[in-house]
């Protein structure tokens, strides 16, 4: 089944005023939607017109909306080869007895985090219950009015009682200079690009942060404005501080200036992390190496922690201490993820990866080789590894890291990105 596809962009002037069918006051209680992606499948002209109107509503300004003319099978077809968005809105003519069956092929390709609103033709309470029980977020009986659709979307994504939308992942090095920032930036880019997920990268290294260099950006404002003016912090203010790096990636950059000292209270970054989680499905935090009140607070607040280390003794000791300390700070969470970086640097005596891992009792999610040319070129040209050389084993490893830290795949045996035989040789030499 072929599907016609189009993307809806910014509102035209003078369009989108309330129509007669809208009940006055319907929109008053609705808040702007966060940076989510929505893909709507419309079978009827009426539904398509309604989605066109929704696209022009100011509360949708940050939403990435696509509309496809087609139904359930068009959706299943499309998502068999592309990742599913945060929300699928599906119009269907199916009869109640066939509807669940018709949804099965879509369910099979849908990411567990994707929410689904079904617009059907039948006002049937047992069908409604069946759908909700099977994980559908809402069932609306068509023709749906625009305020009702907006309210249904809001109920899922801006309900103050609901779980925060976004997931947060902090990257920190076991020492300075181990490549934690490089890994955080490539990983944030990977998540945004591979899954078309709106991602915000926050550079918490205010005096020395390099995200601005790595993405070739020169923003005037950024995270400093946010952390030093917490009383002004809201979605509108945040929007002004963000710099767009690529289609789905925004940067909350560090000033990287030494005109002042950067001392922070323990919870200085808490409101920012909360706001990021309300604003986008994914926040990646680049935390500088250090162990202060505020870094400990950040590491205890985020959903996932990734420790980056190079295979030497100081890194091993620090990684071990950090894992133990994080266990106390996050008693009910999984252990942090570990990434070994700069493995195989010529002439440097190293601890073999297997010996490094053993006392830690955790498997690394990735092992990245030392590749001064590839990483140096990327850093100097303000681009990510996958932009420089998408087919390189290192780019493949970053893709795996993006999958694992977002919970898209369970961790299998670590692939040794670009190392292959060499790793085996290193292991043997040490033994």
Q: By CB under 6 A, name the binding residues for ligand ADP.
A: 173, 176-182, 210, 341-342, 368, 370-372, 375, 379
Starting at the earlier edge strand, list the strands of the sheet with 64-69: 4-7, 64-69, 37-42, 87-91, 115-120, 138-141
For residues 372 and 390, which CB has a smaller minimum distance to ligand ADP in the complex? 372
Report d(CA 146, CA 55) in Å as an integer: 10
Nearest partner of 287 among 403, 221, 203, judged by Cα: 203
Among ligand ADP, Mg ion, none, partner that 192 touches (CB below 5 to 8 angstroms by kind): none
To the nearest whole angstrom, how small is the minimum distance from the Cβ of residue 306 to ligand ADP?
A: 12
To the nearest whole angstrom, how small is the minimum distance from the Cβ of residue 179 to Mg ion?
A: 8
Report d(CA 142, CA 91) in Å as an integer: 8
To the nearest whole angstrom, how small is the minimum distance from the Cβ of residue 301 to ligand ADP?
A: 20
Q: For residue 91, is it left (φ>0), alpha (ψ between -120 and 50) or beta?
A: beta
β-pair type (87-91, 37-42): parallel
x/- track of binding to Mg ion for residues 135-174 (CB under 5 A): ----------------------------------------
To the nearest whole angstrom, how small is the minimum distance from the Cβ of residue 345 to Mg ion?
A: 18
Report d(CA 338, CA 351) in Å as an integer: 15
Residue 217: Cβ-neighbour burial (10 angstroms; 0-12, 13-18, 19+): middle
Nearest partner of 32 among 163, 192, 196, 157, judged by Cα: 157
Report d(CA 390, CA 354) in Å as an integer: 28
> Element (H or E) spanning 379, and its range?
helix 372-381
For residues 72 and 168, which CB has a smaller minimum distance to ligand ADP in the complex? 168
Report d(CA 211, CA 253) in Å as an integer: 6
- Looking at residue 360, the DSSP 8-state letter turns out to be G
To the nearest whole angstrom, how small is the minimum distance from the Cβ of residue 341 to ligand ADP?
A: 5
> Element (H or E) spanning 52, and its range?
helix 45-55
The region of 25-33, 153-161, 178-186, 336-344 touching Mg ion under the rule CB under 5 A is 178-186
Q: Is 181 in the site for Mg ion (CB under 5 A)?
A: yes
Report d(CA 336, CA 316) in Å as an integer: 14
To the nearest whole angstrom, how small is the minimum distance from the Cβ of residue 267 to ligand ADP?
A: 23
For residues 147 and 179, which CB has a smaller minimum distance to ligand ADP in the complex? 179
The region of 57-65, 106-114, 175-183, 315-323 touching Mg ion under the rule CB under 5 A is 175-183
For residues 41 and 294, which CB has a smaller minimum distance to ligand ADP in the complex? 294
Closest residue to Mg ion in the complex (CB): 181
For residues 117 and 188, which CB has a smaller minimum distance to Mg ion in the complex? 188
Q: Is 182 in the site for Mg ion (CB under 5 A)?
A: no
Among Mg ion, ligand ADP, none, partner that 372 touches (CB below 5 to 8 angstroms by kind): ligand ADP
Q: Any idea which residue has 């995200």 for tokens?
A: 211
To the nearest whole angstrom, how small is the minimum distance from the Cβ of residue 273 to ligand ADP?
A: 19
To the nearest whole angstrom, how small is the minimum distance from the Cβ of residue 320 to ligand ADP?
A: 18
Q: Is 196 in the site for Mg ion (CB under 5 A)?
A: no
For residues 180 and 191, which CB has a smaller minimum distance to ligand ADP in the complex? 180
Binding footprint of Mg ion on the chain (CB under 5 A): 181
């Amino acid at each position: 089944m072929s599907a016609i596809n189009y993307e809806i962009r910014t509102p035209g002037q003078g369009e989108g005023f309330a129509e007669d069918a809208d009940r006055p006051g319907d929109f008053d209680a609705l808040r702007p939607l966060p940076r989510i992606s929505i893909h709507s499948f419309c079978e009827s002209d009426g539904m398509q017109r309604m989605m066109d109107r929704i696209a022009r509503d100011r509360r949708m300004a940050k939403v990435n909306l696509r509309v496809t003319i087609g139904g359930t099978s068009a959706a299943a077809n499309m998502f068999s080869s592309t990742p599913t968005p945060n929300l699928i809105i599906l119009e269907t003519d199916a009869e109640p007895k066939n509807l669940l069956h018709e949804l099965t092929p879509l369910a099979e390709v849908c990411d567990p985090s994707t929410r689904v609103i079904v617009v059907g033709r039948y006002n049937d309470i047992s069908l409604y219950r069946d759908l909700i029980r099977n994980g559908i977020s809402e069932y609306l009986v068509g023709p749906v009015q625009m305020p009702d659709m907006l309210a249904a979307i809001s109920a899922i994504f801006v309900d103050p009682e609901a779980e925060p939308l976004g997931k947060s992942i902090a990257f920190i090095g076991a020492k300075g200079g181990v490549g934690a920032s490089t890994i955080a930036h490539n990983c944030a880019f990977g998540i945004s690009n591979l899954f078309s997920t709106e991602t915000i990268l926050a550079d918490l290294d205010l005096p020395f942060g390099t995200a601005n260099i790595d993405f070739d950006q020169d923003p005037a404002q950024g995270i400093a404005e946010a952390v030093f003016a917490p009383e002004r912090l809201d979605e509108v203010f945040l929007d002004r501080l963000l710099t767009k790096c690529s289609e789905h990636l925004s940067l909350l950059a560090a000033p990287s200036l030494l005109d002042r000292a950067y001392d922070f209270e323990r919870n200085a970054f808490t409101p920012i992390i909360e706001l990021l989680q309300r604003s986008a499905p994914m926040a990646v935090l680049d935390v500088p190496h250090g162990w202060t009140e505020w870094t400990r607070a950040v590491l205890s607040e985020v959903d996932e922690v990734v420790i980056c280390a190079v295979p030497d003794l100081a890194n091993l000791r620090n990684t071990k201490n950090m894992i133990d300390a994080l266990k106390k700070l996050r008693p009910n969470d999984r252990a942090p993820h570990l990434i070994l970086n700069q493995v195989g640097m010529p002439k440097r005596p190293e601890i073999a990866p297997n010996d490094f891992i053993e006392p830690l009792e955790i498997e690394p999610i990735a092992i990245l080789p030392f590749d001064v040319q590839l990483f140096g070129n990327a850093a100097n040209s303000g681009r990510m590894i996958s932009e420089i050389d998408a087919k390189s084993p290192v780019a493949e490893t970053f893709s795996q890291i993006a999958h694992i830290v977002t919970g898209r795949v369970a961790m299998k045996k670590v692939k040794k990105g670009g190392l292959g035989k060499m790793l085996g040789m290193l292991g043997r030499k040490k033994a």
